[in-house]
Amino acid sequence: MRSLGLILFLLSLFISAVLMFWLEPMFAKMILPILGGTSSVWTTCIAFYQLALLGGYVYGHVAIKWLGVKRQSIFHLVLLWSALIVLPIGIAEGLTPPVSSNPMFWVFLLLLTTVGLPFFVISSTAPVLQKWFSTTVHPSAKDPYFLYSTSNLGSMVGLLAYPFLVEPYLTLKT
């Protein structure tokens, strides 16, 4: 049973990291036809993703301290199910950026309202699961940071797989 639990933790971390590194370029690519391939689009996307990642880590740390593991796990499941409301991720038809001003704030708001919650939840997976794992009876529970290697592997797989597997074989609508 211990090894099955560890496998579930590792699999969850791996999948969340892959999804995070597929979501980042995919949504930025959705925005590009609206705004063109300007560097400000990519820069705004990267800034948003970094802030959301930081927010997910802060949430993972603070929520467990304030709520404890049991209540935080219930809260996190509610948050996870709430993120499903905005799926599938996409841009509303006919949505146009402001013509008279810098579109940076529009892009940031678009990211916040479309991918913000799912990305936030995915980004909180590593710290949350590490804390949950540390409360188990698994022999490695005292030092759960080895789980980061699985998360890092998932990040690398997601990052490398996107241009070679996702982009050539899946359309943005898919």
Q: With 80 as the cut, is the pLDDT of residue 92 above it? A: no
Average confidence score pLDDT of the chain: 87
Q: With 90 as the cut, is the pLDDT of residue 102 above it? A: no
Q: Could you tell me if residue 94 is left (phi over 0), alpha (psi between -120 and 50 degrees) or otherwise beta?
A: left
> Cα–Cα distance between 69 and 88 in angstroms, integer?
30
* Start-end of H helices in 36-115: 39-83, 104-114
Count CB neighbours of 102 within 10 A.
11
E strand or H helix at 132: helix 125-134
pTM: 0.86
Residues 129-146: pLDDT tens digits? Answer: 988 898 888 888 888 888
> Cα–Cα distance between 172 and 30 in angstroms, integer?
7
- Token pair belonging to 19: 């999804």
Burial class (CB in 10 A: 0-12, 13-18, 19+), 52: buried
| CB 23 within 8 Å of CB 89 | yes
Residues 14-58: pLDDT tens digits? Answer: 999 999 999 888 888 888 888 877 778 888 899 999 999 999 999
